């Protein structure tokens, strides 16, 4: 269980769902260990958050446990979308912990946001990768089937076709150097889904991820984005943490998940 | 109620299942594993055949579940009145009243197909 996430399901305002999918990982595998790692490396955190003056264990978070994948990724995403949808119907904000980035597709389909905001090194705008239309390199493309627009913060790599797609009006790619100046630009009625791919951060800070990409954003910049987007967000995930480091990626992911909950709860 | 028992793994999109003692048609069927070494769990999203209400269930794939036995039958419209029709079953010649689905316009002598389970009927 994620430390402090001991609210009963029926009383939950936030529902953490572990999604250890590791099917399409294209370089270093291990995302299947992400949910366990994130829970483990959250153990040392203080319950109290000075920034919002709240105790984490009082914010009604329920840990649903992991929903493990079966062979058919499409079917698994449908299951996961249903699980997240159940929590939403019960009034809880779903918090997915990956697993590879593909699990975000389930979260986005459950929330049906107007805006998809993503911290990510990669544009993820491919139609398919290695013949797989549900690859972790296609997430933003799938999100745009649901959301009106996407903002990819920390984007620094993609194929030529992806950059062309990113130049269209419904996508905004913000380079790492510009993330510190980015401000949320949502309409008051917009619903937002926030996804954190841990590889948005420089691999110096989060080496435990499948497709490392140098020259990434700083943890403090990412935390500011999470804190500022959280009040608008109806769903959240943090993905692509694997077990190939000493906990740096997992501890950053866990801290950002907590930052999201603190900031979202403070705005309620 | 006429039902038969199957395993959850035998269900499929488009087939029927009993959820909360109500006959439902399955809109979505998906599976996932609940955890290490756990048997796969299936999630079924369905809607009531006769009341249209959405219902879900989540069960291990090897759990037993009941599916309704729903007959698909032929009928002929005798008369219509407002949003109802008087229909004669073409096999038994029984006549009964049945609700017209939204947007369906029928006239006397039209042939229809309908679903029947005990006293519940619905035009397809």
Nearest to A156, CA basis, from A205, A105, A212: A212
Spatial contact of A151 and A118, defined as CB atoms under 8 Å apart: yes
Strand-strand pairing, B84-89 and A48-49 = unpaired
- Confidence category of residue B1, pLDDT binned at 50, 70, 90: low
Residues in CB range of B2: below 8 A, 6 or more apart: B68, B69, B117, B118
Q: Do B34 and A67 touch (CB under 8 A)?
A: yes
Run of H or E residues at B124: none
Average pLDDT over residues A250-266: 98
- A69 chain-B contacts, CB cut-off 8 A: 32-33
CA distance B124 to A194: 42
CB contact under 8 A, A82 and B33: no
Cβ of B35 under 8 Å from any chain A Cβ? Answer: yes
Global pTM? 0.89
Q: How far apart are CA A257 and CA A260, in angstroms?
A: 5
Per-residue confidence (pLDDT) for residue A17, from 0 to 100: 97
- Whether omega before B52 lies within 30 degrees of 0, making that bond cis, reads no
Disruptive mutation site among B30, B46, B57, B59 for chain A (greatest number of A CBs within 10 Å): B30
Q: Which residues of A touch B31 (CB under 8 A)?
A: 70, 72, 75-76, 79
- Tell me: the pLDDT tens digits for A213-250? 999 999 999 999 999 999 999 999 999 999 999 999 99
Q: How many CB atoms lie within 10 A of CB A220?
A: 8
The β-bridge partners of B122 are: B115
Classify B100 as helix, strand or coil. Answer: coil
A1 at B interface, C-beta within 8 A:
no
Chain A nearest C-alpha distance from B108 (Å): 44
**Do B43 and A78 count as a contact with CB atoms less than 8 A apart?**
yes
**Helix (H) and strand (E) counts in chain B:** 0, 11
Compare CB distances from A78 to B30, B34, B41 and report the shortest one's residue.
Answer: B30
pLDDT per residue over A115-126, tens digit each?
999 999 999 999
Residue whose C-alpha is closest to residue A245's, from A42, A81, A33, A89: A33
| Pairing state between β B41-48 and B84-89 | unpaired
With 90 as the cut, is the pLDDT of residue A9 above it? yes
Residue of B nearest to A33 (CA): B36
Kindly state whether B69 is in contact with chain A, defined as any CB-CB distance less than 8 angstroms: no
CB contact under 8 A, B43 and A68: no
Relative to beta strand A93-98, strand A233-239 is parallel
Distance CA A222, CA A206 (A): 12
Are B67 and B16 spatial neighbours (Cβ–Cβ below 8 Å)? yes
Nearest-neighbour CA in chain B from A149: distance (Å): 27
Q: Please write down the long-range contacts of A131-138, taking CB distance under 8 Å and 24 or more positions apart.
A: A132/A24, A134/A23, A134/A24, A134/A73, A134/A74, A134/A77, A134/A102, A134/A105, A135/A24, A135/A26, A135/A102, A136/A24, A136/A25, A136/A26, A136/A100, A136/A101, A136/A102, A136/A210, A136/A240, A137/A24, A137/A26, A138/A102
pLDDT at A153 over 80: yes
As a whole number of angstroms, the distance between CA B13 and CA A42 comes to 40
> B56 and chain A: CB distance < 8 Å anywhere?
yes
Q: In terms of C-beta density within 10 A (0-12 exposed, 13-18 middle, 19 or more buried), how is residue A186 classed?
A: middle
- Please give the Cα distance from B34 to B31 (Å, whole number): 10
- B50-75 pLDDT, tens digit per residue, is 889 999 999 999 999 999 998 899 99
Distance from CA of A106 to the nearest CA of B (A): 12
Which sign does the torsion angle of CA A13, A18, A21, A27 carry? positive
Does the distance separating the beta carbons of A80 and B31 come in below 8 Å?
no
For residues A132-163, one letter each, b for 16 or more C-beta atoms within 10 angstroms of the residue's C-beta and e for the rest, the string is bebbbbbbbbbbbebbebbbbbbbbebeeebe
* Residues linked to residue B7 through DSSP beta bridges, in sequence order: B64
Confidence category of residue B120, pLDDT binned at 50, 70, 90: confident
Taking the Cβ of residue B97 and every Cβ of chain A, the question of whether any pair is shorter than 8 Å is answered with no
Give the separation between CA A181 and CA A183, rounded to whole angstroms. Answer: 6
What pLDDT, on a 0 to 100 scale, did the predictor assign at position A213? 98
Q: Do the bridges between strand B54-60 and strand B41-48 make them parallel or antiparallel, or are there none, so unpaired?
A: antiparallel
Rounded mean pLDDT of A80-97?
97
Say yes or no to pLDDT of A136 above 80: yes
Percent of chain A with pLDDT over 90: 99
Size of interface A-B (CB pairs under 8 A): 47
- C-alpha distances in angstroms, A18 versus A128, A139, A211? 25, 18, 20
Give chain A positions within 8 Å (CB) of B34. Answer: 65-68
ipTM rounded to 2 decimals: 0.73
Query: How many C-alpha atoms does A85 have within 13 Å on its Cβ side?
Result: 20
Which residue in B28, B38, B84, B83 sits closest to B61, CA to CA?
B38
User: A79–B40: do the CB atoms touch at under 8 Å?
Assistant: no
Query: What distance in Å separates residue B37's CA from the closest CA in chain A?
Result: 10
């Amino acid at each position: 269980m994620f430390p402090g996430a001991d609210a009963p399901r029926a009383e939950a305002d936030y529902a953490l769902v572990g999604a250890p999918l590791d099917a399409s990982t294209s370089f270093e595998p291990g995302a299947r260990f992400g949910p366990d790692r994130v829970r483990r490396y959250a153990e040392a955190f203080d319950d109290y958050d000075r920034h919002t003056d709240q105790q984490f264990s009082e914010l009604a978070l329920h840990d649903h446990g992991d929903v493990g994948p079966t062979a058919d990724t499409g079917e698994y995403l449908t299951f996961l979308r249903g699980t997240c949808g159940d929590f939403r119907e019960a009034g809880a904000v779903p918090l997915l912990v990956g697993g590879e980035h593909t699990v975000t597709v389930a979260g986005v389909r459950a929330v049906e946001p107007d805006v998809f905001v993503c911290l990510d090194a990669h544009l993820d705008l491919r139609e398919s990768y290695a013949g797989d239309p549900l690859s972790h390199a296609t997430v933003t493309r799938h999100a745009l089937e649901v959301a009106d627009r996407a903002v990819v913060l920390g984007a620094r790599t993609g194929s030529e076709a992806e950059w062309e797609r990113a130049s269209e009006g419904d996508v905004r790619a913000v380079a790492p150097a510009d993330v510190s100046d980015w401000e949320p630009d949502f309409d008051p009625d917009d619903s937002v889904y926030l996804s954190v791919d841990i590889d948005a951060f420089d691999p110096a800070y989060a080496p435990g991820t499948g497709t490392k990409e140098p020259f990434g954003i700083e943890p403090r910049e990412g935390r500011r984005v999470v804190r500022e987007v959280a009040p608008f967000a109806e769903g959240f995930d943090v993905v692509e943490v694997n077990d190939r480091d000493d906990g740096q990626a997992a501890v950053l992911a866990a801290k950002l998940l907590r930052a999201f909950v603190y900031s979202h709860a403070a705005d309620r | 109620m006429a039902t038969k028992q199957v395993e959850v793994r035998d269900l499929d999109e488009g087939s029927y299942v009993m959820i909360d003692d109500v006959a439902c048609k399955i809109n979505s069927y998906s599976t996932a594993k609940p955890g290490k070494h756990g048997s796969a769990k299936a999630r079924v999203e369905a809607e009531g055949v006769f009341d249209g209400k959405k219902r879900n269930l989540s069960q291990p794939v090897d759990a037993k579940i009941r599916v309704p036995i729903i007959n698909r039958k032929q009928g002929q419209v005798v008369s219509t009145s407002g949003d109802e029709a008087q229909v004669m079953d073409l096999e038994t010649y029984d006549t009964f009243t049945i609700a017209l689905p939204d947007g369906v316009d029928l006239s006397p002598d039209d042939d229809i197909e309908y679903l029947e389970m005990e006293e519940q009927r619905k035009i397809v």
